[in-house]
Amino acid sequence: MTCRAKQRHDGIIGLDNTQIATGSGRHSASMDRFSTDNLTAERLNESHLADLVALHLDPEASRYIGGVRSAEATEKYLVANMAHWDQHGFGLWTLRTKDGAFAGRAGIRHILVDDVDEIEIAYAFTRNLWGRGFASEIATALTQIGLSQLELPSLIGIVYVANGASRRVLEKSNYLLERSTNRHGEDVVIYRIRR
């Protein structure tokens, strides 16, 4: 079978044979990679460890994603997120700019929020790429994948109250502020979008 990429009106370059079997953990090869206008995404794997360690050791880049993680903690994070892919058929991708430079990580994953299983979009970028619209671009792509391809009923975004930039990204992506809560001792807000 031949997979041909096609540009859609939303700026996401997908594969024209995308078939997702939700709930079964099965997915087509097209879920392993996707592209937007400025980014390429590849399913998280062991070869990404060094880039993730560098991202997670940067105190500014990690400020709103749970804080600095050691190399050992990042390795456990990687293993857990690869297992998420195996269990659910979706998860985190590493991101690269079109010139191949590591840009960050982003994805769609299950997360327990106030004892409720939710599915969130999450993203983190290297500092040198902040303020260039990449977060909005990837939030739009993740939302489209989650709602249209995976046919999930809703997605959430969890944002530290003080992270105004990420709140604006979700608002521009049509997420609605749902509520405030506390996660790991930090005040956060929950945004949601429904299919």
DSSP codes, 36-97: -SSEEEEE--GGGHHHHHHHHH-TTTTTTTTS---HHHHHHHHHHHHHHHHHHS--EEEEEE
Q: Is the dihedral of CA 120, 168, 165, 130 positive or negative?
A: positive
- Spatial separation of the C-alpha atoms in residues 83 and 98, rounded to whole Å: 28
Mean pLDDT of the chain: 85
Query: What integer pLDDT is reported at residue 30 of this predicted model?
Result: 61
Domain ranges, ordered by start, for the chain: 5-194
pLDDT band at 67 (very low <50, low <70, confident <90, very high): confident
The Cα 72–Cα 109 span in angstroms is 21
Tokens at 139, concatenated: 């939030």
Q: What is the pLDDT of residue 20?
A: 31
Do the beta carbons of residue 106 and residue 95 sit within 8 Å?
A: yes
Determine which of 57-71, 78-92, 136-150 has the lowest per-residue pLDDT on average: 57-71
Q: How do residues 21-60 score in pLDDT, each as one tens digit?
A: 333 343 344 689 999 999 999 999 999 999 999 999 888 8
Run of H or E residues at 141:
helix 134-144
* pLDDT at position 41: 97
| Length of the chain in terms of residues written | 195
pTM confidence score: 0.82
Q: Which of these, 27, 156, 41, 145, lies nearest to 87 by C-alpha position?
A: 27
Check pLDDT > 90 for residue 9. no
Architecture of domain 5-194: 3-Layer(aba) Sandwich (3.40)
Closest to 88 measured CA to CA, from 41, 145, 12: 145
Q: Given this model, what pLDDT does residue 62 score?
A: 80
